[in-house]
Amino acid sequence: MIRAFVAVEIDLELRQRIARAQEQIKDRICRELRSLGQDVRIQWVRPDSIHLTLKFLGDIDERLVGDIQQALTLAADAQPRFSVEVGGAGAFPDSRAPRVLWLGLSGHVEALVRLAAEVDRALTALGFPAEAKPYSPHLTLARIKERSRELGKVLSGSGVLAHAAQLGSLEVRAVALMKSDLHPSGAVYTRLVEIPLKEPQRGE
């Protein structure tokens, strides 16, 4: 059994920009927390592990990889390549009691939502449960493990997330089936399969 998900990977240049933005947010939050004497447990995602998740599959039989590749090929054939803009930051479920800090996406987000829907539809045919909630595209920067309301007070009072800059374009040219191995230092992700999206036709 392997732990797997479908994602769009991020190129090195954009990843470096994201890493700098994450470090700036981290420094500002940690400084604010120290000044208030607050002890909040935050798990920051390693920059080399940040990716755009399209669908989480959970623990699967490794023998299904070939079938999943075929399903993702059908999904990829339905969607031309496109790009989205990365920038702005926020929190789930909200900034008052955040559990996740994220970077936002803008621009051709409707194409990204369509791609996620195609992936979901193709994998539902293999027996994977359909997504119950609307797709909410984002890049996860950190997960708050304890005392989220204390962090919420810092976010509300300091405007840390409001100053997140626009970081550039994420080129969505392929989808990847990824494997996740959990270690004490955090998850390690390995690409198992990459399927390119179709070349856009003139006028698309």
Q: Give me the phi and psi of 176, to 5 degrees please.
A: -130, 140
Q: What is the pTM of this model?
A: 0.88
Asked if the structure places residue 204 within a domain, the reply is no
**pLDDT score, position 37:** 67
Asked if the structure places residue 203 within a domain, the reply is no
For 21, half-sphere exposure in the C-beta direction (CA atoms, 13 angstrom radius) is 27
**DSSP H stretches of helix in the chain:** 12-36, 65-77, 109-124, 148-158
**pLDDT score, position 203:** 56
**204 is written with which tokens?**
């698309």
Q: Which of 107, 186, 172 is nearest to 140 (CA)?
A: 186
Count of domains for the chain? 1
> How confident is the prediction along the chain (204 residues), in pLDDT tens digits per residue?
899 999 999 999 999 999 999 999 898 888 887 776 667 788 899 999 999 999 999 999 999 999 999 999 999 998 899 999 999 888 898 888 899 999 999 999 999 999 999 999 999 999 999 999 999 999 999 998 877 888 888 787 777 787 778 899 999 999 999 999 887 767 788 999 999 998 876 655
Asked if the structure places residue 202 within a domain, the reply is no
Catalytic residue list: 51, 138
**182 is written with which tokens?**
């959990």
Asked if the structure places residue 101 within a domain, the reply is yes
Asked if the structure places residue 163 within a domain, the reply is yes
Cβ(64)–Cβ(126) under 8 Å? Answer: yes
**pLDDT score, position 151:** 84
CA distances from 116 to 8, 36, 102 (A): 10, 41, 18
- The Cα 73–Cα 77 span in angstroms is 6
CATH number of the domain encompassing residue 71: 3.90.1140.10
Q: Is residue 4 classed exposed, middle or buried when 0-12, 13-18 and 19+ CB atoms within 10 A define those classes?
A: buried
Number of Cβ within a 10 Å radius of residue 118: 20
Structural domain for 63, as ranges: 2-196
**pLDDT score, position 36:** 66
Asked if the structure places residue 138 within a domain, the reply is yes
- Please give, one letter per residue, the 3-state secondary structure of 78-133: CCECEEEEEEEEEEECCCCCCCEEEEEEEECHHHHHHHHHHHHHHHHCCCCCCCCC
- The Cα 22–Cα 103 span in angstroms is 9
Asked if the structure places residue 98 within a domain, the reply is yes
CA distances from 15 to 18, 21, 30, 36 (A): 5, 10, 22, 31
Asked if the structure places residue 103 within a domain, the reply is yes
